[in-house]
Each structure stands twice: as C-alpha cells, then as structure tokens.
Amino acid sequence: MNLKELFGYENKNVIITGASSGMAKSACELLIELGANVYAIDINPIDLPVTKSFQADLGRKETIERIIKELPDKIDAIFLCHAIAGFKGKELEVQLVNFYGQKYMLELLLPKVKDQGSITFISSVGGFGYEANYQNCLEIININDWDEAVNWYQNHPKLIENSYVFAKQCMNTYVTSKCMSKEFITRKIRINAICPGYTITGLTDDFNKSTSATNDAKEGQAIIENMFINGWNGYPASPKDMGYPLVTIGSNIFSYTSGECIYIDYGLTSNWKHQSLTNSPK
C-alpha cells in the first residue's frame, strides 16, 4: 500500500496555524513529508520548507481578515493549533487567540474548504468536563460579530476567569455542536479536535508560570506534574505524540470521524471519568 495515498495529502492545500513550534511544527513536518502544499501561519517566524508561510497575530480581527485573502481559493484541510497560556490579566486576549479568533477565521475560510474537507483543532485536557459549561459556550459560539463577542466576554468576567480552560471548553462545544450543522454536514466537512495531555513544547514554561499564583515556574511545574503525571507514574508527551495523530485525524484515514474531541493523554481523563463514576478516591 502507498502510504502517501492512504493519507491523501499529496498536492492538497493544507492550512496550519501555530506552526513555528511544538505540536503544529511536528504536524507541519509530517504534512510536508506526505506531499501537502502547506500554508503555515504563526506570530513567530516559521523555519520549515512550507509552500508559503505567514507571520501574523491571529488574535486580531484585521489580521485574520487580511491573511485569509492570501490563502488559496480551494482548501482541503485546516489545522487550528495556536494558543497562549492563561495568565491573569490576559483573560480577554486568551479568549480571542485561543478560541474566538479561531472560530472567526474558520467561518471566514469555510466557503474555500472543499467538500469532504477536514477541520481539526488542538484543544486540551483542560477542556475536559466542557459539558458543564455547554450553554455558556454556545452563547459565544452563536455570536458572529467580533466587537459583539468582545463585549460578551467583557460582560462575563467570572466565566473567563479560568481563561485557558474556558477557551478550550468553547472549542470542544464548537466541535460537538457544529459537526451536524448545515454548513458542515451538507458538504460533508469533518470537524474534530485532539485534546492533548501534558506535552513539552514552547508553551511549557508559560504553563508552569501561569499555574503558580506567584508566576513561579518551579511551583507551577510541581502542580502540573501532580495533576497530569504523578498519579500514573507517567511522563510528558513529546510534540510528535500530538502532531502525528493530529495529521492522521485530518486525513482520509479518519474519513468517517467527525464531531469528536479525542483525548490523547495516556488514559488520564478516562481514569478521571472512571473515578467520578465509581466515586473512587483520586
């Protein structure tokens, strides 16, 4: 069997964000290897031999609107991967970069996406339990105007206090609520997310700092390791552990999969679910 044909990316137009570093960079390397025409976007420079790279802040409406005009008219797959950590004082920015800007960009790009195309987000185990906030997430998902969305966030400070988590909850809700909606299902455009566990990437230091009340990276790291690693005597993932499944889920191999938030966390969240369903001690 020809593996390039199995994935189906050869000569296909693929958009990927956050490709300067971490998981999306790994994904980008594999996409190039599989013969895709890769259009990569990041706020930082991208040092990979992609078809075209763009350096742009995707947390800004005007930048998103400019970039989409420069992308090809026919798109086969989109990977939305960029994000920042949830520092106190950056609650609104986190929503705009980590979720709302991605929704905004995707919905502007959708007319360019070919029938049977695929959309894949990188969400997070941080979005686990998103069902509890589903109605709140739907409210922001249903707002299409950027300024109105900013206004909504400003009027819901409590909801976005845990900013990284709320943005990822919105992402999971988006995938779940949109997979059968007209704009996706009539053209059989698949939409999924991967939800990674703790992975060593360019975000690690900021995650560590933002997890500590005093921005102390060592303290934050200990809290994170306690939550994600120590309970199963585990180890952090590498960017490839996420980037390669990401590419696979967006490919023809996963042609009958849509609406899924796929946890790639060595079973951590399944175990959380098991513990809560059986009232086992944590």
Ligand X SMILES: NC(=O)c1ccc[n+]([C@@H]2O[C@H](COP(=O)([O-])OP(=O)(O)OC[C@H]3O[C@@H](n4cnc5c(N)ncnc54)[C@H](O)[C@@H]3O)[C@@H](O)[C@H]2O)c1
**Between 205 and 219, CB nearer to ligand X:** 205
Which of 118, 120, 176, 201 is in the footprint of ligand X by CB under 6 A?
A: 201
Instruction: Note whether 20 binds ligand X by CB under 6 A.
Output: yes
Minimum CB–partner distance for residue 183 and ligand X (Å): 23
DSSP character for 94?
H
Longest dimension (CA), the chain: 55
**Among 42-50, 109-117, 132-140, 155-163, which window interacts with ligand X (CB under 6 A)?**
42-50
Q: What's the closest the beta carbon of residue 116 comes to ligand X, in angstroms?
A: 25
207-214, long-range: CB < 8 A, 24+ apart: 207/85, 209/85, 209/87, 210/85, 210/86, 210/87, 210/88, 210/164
Tokens of 279: 């009232």
Check residue 21 for interaction with ligand X (CB under 6 A): yes
Report if residue 27 touches ligand X, rule: CB under 6 A: no
Alpha carbons 35 and 33: distance in angstroms, whole number: 5
Q: How many helices (H) and strands (E) does the chain have?
A: 13, 7
| 128 touches ligand X (CB under 6 A) | no
Q: At residue 144, what are phi and psi to the nearest 5 degrees? A: -100, -15
Piece of 142-150, 151-159, 200-208, 245-253 that binds ligand X (CB under 6 A) = 200-208
With b for 16 or more beta-carbon neighbours within 10 A and e for fewer, the 98-122 pattern comes to: bbbbbbbbbeebbebbeeebbbbbb
Using CB under 6 A as the binding rule, whether residue 209 contacts ligand X is answered as no
CA distance 18 to 27: 10
* Residues 130-169: x where in contact with ligand X by CB under 6 A, - otherwise, as a string: ----------------------------------------
User: Which residues in 71-90 contact ligand X (CB under 6 A)?
Assistant: 81-84
CB 36 to ligand X: min, Å = 19
Can you tell me which of 22, 86, 245, 250 binds ligand X, judged by CB under 6 A?
22
Binding range to ligand X, per CB under 6 A, among 36-44, 64-72, 176-184, 247-255: 36-44
Nearest approach, Cβ of 24 to ligand X (angstroms)? 6
Q: Are 119 and 16 in contact (CB under 8 A)?
A: no
How open is the CA angle 270-194-168, to the nearest 5 degrees?
Answer: 90
Distances (CA, A) of 117 to 73, 198, 249: 13, 29, 12
Residue 59 binding ligand X, by CB under 6 A: yes
Residues in contact with ligand X by CB under 6 A are 18, 20-24, 42-44, 57-59, 81-84, 97, 122, 124, 196, 198-199, 201-204, 239
